[in-house]
Structure 1
Amino acid sequence: MSSLGRIQRTAVRLFADHGFAATGIREISRGAGLNSATLYHYAGGKEELLVTVMRDCLHEILRAGREALAPTEDPAVQLVRLVRAHVAVEAINPLTAKVTDREVHSLTGDNHTEILAIRHEYEGLFRDVLRRGAKQQFHITDLSITRLAVMEMCNGVANWYRPGGRLTVAGLQDRFAELACRMVGSRPVDRTEYEPGVVVPRLESEPEEDA
């Protein structure tokens, strides 16, 4: 693991456990086994660490979302593939995803503007699928609320899912895709229509399970 990766993992764990505002740069450097001067060699400060982690996470979920939509124009299949990709990112990178979702308000200036823009672009993938689906087959009374409900359902995975439990990531994806389809009144989607799915990696910023 690179020194920057070690710093990011330490920062993500501390941000997730205590919040960005309550975490000091000395705690991060101590947890990464470095002194503060060395840490500043790799990262310009606490906010730079945060925005780098969030940028990488959002770029990954945006990549996964675009890849999920690419093979088909059918909104029902696209929704299933999009939900499955989102759930995978949250389940495989729970602490990074949690920090990315919770700490936008901690960013300032251009950092805040940049992250909001990437997040808005990703939200647009869901918005477009639901809008097209509503015109063709979905039963939706409020597009904005439906989008928020589906996305928040997926975001919540990072708060409670842990490997080794009752469901594998694949099993979790199945349940959430089914729930999303029921929420919008979609037709059933057969497995042959959405496989192979999107491969989601573990981000360098994601701490080890037993760390």
Structure 2
Amino acid sequence: MSDDINYKNNPLHGISLKNMLVELVDHYGFEILFAYLYINCFKTNPSIDSSVKFLKKTDWAREKVEAFYLYEFKHLPRASDEQFLLPPRDRIIPDDQQPGSPKELSLEDAQRLREKRERKASERGRGGDHRMGKSQRDNRSGKQNKNNTGPRNTSGDRSTSGKPWPPGARHSSSPAADTPFDPWAQAKIKNKERRDS
């Protein structure tokens, strides 16, 4: 790490998670935070302490709140593609970018934004509301998640993640990638063998 990089220009530098959350709740309230971030700790019996406890344990949610703090509350310009791959606390904010006044947010704007995101996701074929967490960004950027001790999957093949393939999904790493993957194939083979014997 070189000394000429100014990490201190990042508004998250030196602020605790609790103090950041207090600022956000004082300005926007839990209802707006839930509407924009869609994190359940802001909806179900919300409190600063319970939210801090959840965010400390959940990387993707904490990074989402920190990004909201930087780009909505501190009104900084969006990060470059290279900086976007980093967690918000590790991002370098150029010296010429200074925090502004918080954006005015409303529940109606949050609903329009959510509908726009869902429409874009369905147009890309993802179907529904897709959120990319830190581990997914790490995989995209070639980093290995320190909590993930299993094999890293970069091919898009979900089989190493422990999640089953949805019906009709295509198995990208199989030799016959153009045939649908059948998650019940082994059971069908065993049942057929039992009937035949």
In the superposition, the TM-score normalised over structure 2's length comes to: 0.31
In the superposition, the TM-score normalised over structure 1's length comes to: 0.29
Structure with the larger RCO, 1 or 2 (CA within 8 Å, 6+ apart):
1
- Greater helix content: 1
